[in-house]
Amino acid sequence: MMGMLGCVLMSLLVMVADGFVVHGSSGPLVAPLGSSVVLPCYVDKLSSMKGLEVEWRRADSNALVHLFLDGESRPESQEPDYQDRAHFFTDQIQHGNFSLRLDNLTAEDEGRYTCRVYSQEDSGEVLVQLKHERFLVLGSDRSVSAYDGEDVTLNCSLDSHVSLEDVEVSWTRTDGGILVLLFQDNQTFSDSVDEQYRDRAEFFTAEISKGNFSLRLKSVRIEDKGVYMCQVSAGVLSANVTVELEQLGFSSWHIAVLFFCIAAGLAAVLLLVSLIWCRMNNAAGSISKKVCDLQLSLVFCPNICMFLAFMLWGFTEASLNETITCCALYILRPFMLIWAMPYLNYLQGNLKAWIKFFKITRELAIFTVVFYSALFAHGWRLRAHDASIVPRVAMGISFGVIVLLCLLLSRGFKNKILHLILISCLSVCQMSQLMFTFGFSSLGNT
Ligand SMILES: *[C@@H]1O[C@H](CO)[C@@H](O)[C@H](O)[C@H]1NC(C)=O
Ligand SMILES: *[C@@H]1O[C@H](CO)[C@@H](O)[C@H](O)[C@H]1NC(C)=O
Ligand SMILES: *[C@@H]1O[C@H](CO)[C@@H](O)[C@H](O)[C@H]1NC(C)=O
């Protein structure tokens, strides 16, 4: 008995509630600044105007936007800001249409509005969201400067009504159009980014939802200096800002590099002058131990300084391939110079053994191995995203053969023809490694 009564009561309640559903708009309303916009609010069926009260308020501040009470609208109770700007369609109210027209839209009008309807039987409310149409990209006016190795932030934030799924953001270098970072389909893409910026450029992930697409560039290098553009687009809308990254001052690493370069130059000049002076004071034809030492220092010191300078340069700029190659060149150069010297017979002990070891073919072999291992590492990274592993395997094989041939070559052969064959094979392998590293991408695309 009780259960049945409950059921009847329940269905009565549902019926009453069913009769009074207030409708608004399904999504946010968007309108340009200065225009008029209709905020919808209506009920399907209004049984009676008696005791009807309609109240439009800002949901955030609760400010009264407009009021309909006792059969008429009440402009006197409106917030001053909305007087003369917000209107009911008075002839529509009897049909249950309580929509509000808001004129001369301002940026402050953006927000959520509640439409509350009270009648004798029931009440209900609906929330309407209003946004003004805009697509503004803000950056910073001033250029950004940093010391080498520091992290920098380049500002770019979007102020818009557009939802983030539709937004595409690209950070590029305006000089050369290098892609630095890309945001598309609500994701960050770093694969298509230029090698120079891979793993060094990122968004502030937590800030993206706020439309903040500022770029963080980690461990800035000299080559990063330039003008960066943040271009934001959504459909036909598009806007951009540019930021200049200028570099100030050298880091201590750079000062050290500079120091070694100057030391190399100074050492070369001083040693050369003393050598000339000593030789002038020397009896013609004879070579003293002093002259010999000076000559050796002239060969070694500047080259070792340059070797250190390039090594430090590699640390700061991380351009590994150039660094390794230059280092190898500078560390091998003294041996080559001395080997070519007519004083080989004057050398003593260990040094003589070393110089003899580094004869020209060995030097070529070592330099080739160093250069091609740097190239191999570079190619391996370049091909990391290829679908097929064939180029990588081929690169590995040709590199392996190059190392093998260099080992054979450094052993030295009396047989001239064998020597020639080895060198030809080496050239072929070098060609094929170059092909696999750089050439096949263009072939693969056609
Ligand atoms: C309410 O009235 C306004 C103004 O005439 C109109 O634009 C709107 O479509 C009406 N809404 C409904 C649900 O009839
Ligand atoms: C965007 O985020 C960065 C990093 O948190 C911050 O420095 C910058 O001020 C933010 N920009 C805006 C407009 O909020
Ligand atoms: C960047 O915006 C300016 C206007 O602010 C426009 O003239 C220029 O064409 C835009 N550049 C690009 C590459 O879209």
Q: Which ligand is nearest to the CA of 209?
A: 2
DSSP state of 283: P
Residue 11: pLDDT over 60: no
With cut-offs at 50, 70 and 90, classify the pLDDT of residue 384.
confident
- Cβ–Cβ under 8 Å, residues 56 and 62: no
Instruction: Tell me if 97 CB under 6 Å of ligand 1.
Output: yes
Q: Which of 39, 97, 117 to mutate for ligand 1's pocket (most ligand atoms within 8 Å of CB)?
A: 97
Q: Is residue 93 classed as helix, strand or coil in its secondary structure?
A: helix
Question: pLDDT averaged over the chain?
Answer: 83
Residue 8: pLDDT over 60: no
Q: Which ligand is nearest to the CA of 139?
A: 2
Residues of the chain with pLDDT > 90: what percent?
A: 34
DSSP state of 219: S
Query: In ligand 2, which atom is closest to the CA atom of 206?
Result: 5
Q: Is residue 220 classed as helix, strand or coil in its secondary structure?
A: coil
- Cβ–Cβ under 8 Å, residues 149 and 200: no
As a whole number, mean pLDDT of residues 260-268 equals 86
As a whole number, mean pLDDT of residues 342-368 equals 73
Q: Cα 172 from chain centroid?
A: 9
- Cβ–Cβ under 8 Å, residues 170 and 234: no
Q: Which ligand is nearest to the CA of 233?
A: 3
Residue 445: pLDDT over 60: no
Q: Which ligand is nearest to the CA of 216?
A: 2
Distance (Å) from CA 132 to ligand 1 centroid: 21
| Sequence-ordered alpha helix ranges (H) in 174-221 | 205-208
Identify the burial level of 79 via C-beta atoms within 10 angstroms of its C-beta, where 0-12 means exposed, 13-18 middle and 19 or more buried: middle
Rounded Cα distance, 75 and 131, in Å: 24
Residue 36: pLDDT over 90: yes
Rounded Cα distance, 324 and 328, in Å: 6
Q: Which of 153, 171, 241 to mutate for ligand 2's pocket (most ligand atoms within 8 Å of CB)?
A: 153
Residue 97: pLDDT over 90: yes
Query: In ligand 3, which atom is closest to the CA atom of 239?
Result: 2
User: pLDDT value at position 27?
Assistant: 87
- The model carries a pTM of 0.54
Count helices and strands in the chain by DSSP H and E runs: 10, 22
Q: Which of 141, 173, 179, 240 to mutate for ligand 3's pocket (most ligand atoms within 8 Å of CB)?
A: 240
As a whole number, mean pLDDT of residues 239-268 equals 83
Element (H, E) at 152: strand 152-154
Instruction: Tell me if 251 CB under 6 Å of ligand 3.
Output: no
